[in-house]
Amino acid sequence: MLYDQMTQLEKDILQELMNIILAKAADSFARISKEEVLINVPKLYEADKESALEELFNDNRIEVIIQSEVKGDIYAHTLILFSDKQIRMFEAACLKTTTVTNKMRESLLLEISNIVTGTLVTHLADILKINIYGSVPSAPIYRTAVTENDLVLDLDLTRPVLFTVNTIFKSSHQQVDMSMVLIFDIPNLEKVMNLIRKINKREFKLLLKD
């Protein structure tokens, strides 16, 4: 697989790239929750097509999926997956009310998806010097309405890169680990990897510490 062909240094750069980009989403979360927010990416890996979402569906008890498209110089899908527990923790941190309607919940999840995907697209474009943009997120897809196999088939999943987005709301001591999936076809993943190989590795704090 392409990800396995990367050196460990290149994998570190890819993970640090995601850390740098998604850390910038913390300010947007802070405006919603009115408290300091920290975001990082502790885990990133490429998955097999045949089992891409199986682990996420089975282990994290996913309830809602938000899907977006990335278009332009590269094409990809993003999926953000929320378990019931994660949804409740985001509600507690961001909505500050014990009475949450379905409309409030869906609006919050769409806003979270907008923040994460929008930040990813904006700063990935800036760092890699490419022209890309994100589409409006889909309406929430509920776990009871779709199976993992259906989703994989619908998306023509070829090279998914999975990573965990760790979000900490400091004042309320809420910590949420949500899963995000980046889905590329082979040519587009090759484009991204070639661009990553051209990055000045000294610019990344992770590598400067070594």
Domains of the chain: 3-200 (3.40.1550.10)
Torsion angle of the four alpha carbons 195, 198, 203, 208, in this order, in degrees rounded to the nearest 10: 110
pTM for the full predicted model: 0.78
Which of 71, 79, 148 minimizes the C-alpha distance to 112?
79
101 Cβ contact list (under 8 Å, min separation 6) = none
Higher-pLDDT residue of 1, 24: 24
Chain-wide mean pLDDT for the chain?
76
Q: Note the pLDDT of residue 55.
A: 61
pLDDT in tens, 172-187: 777 877 777 777 766 7
Q: What is the mean pLDDT of residues 104-117?
A: 91
For residue 165, the model assigns a pLDDT of: 78
- Is 148 a residue whose pLDDT tops 70? no
Q: Which of 109-113, 124-128, 150-154, 158-162 has the lowest mean pLDDT?
A: 150-154
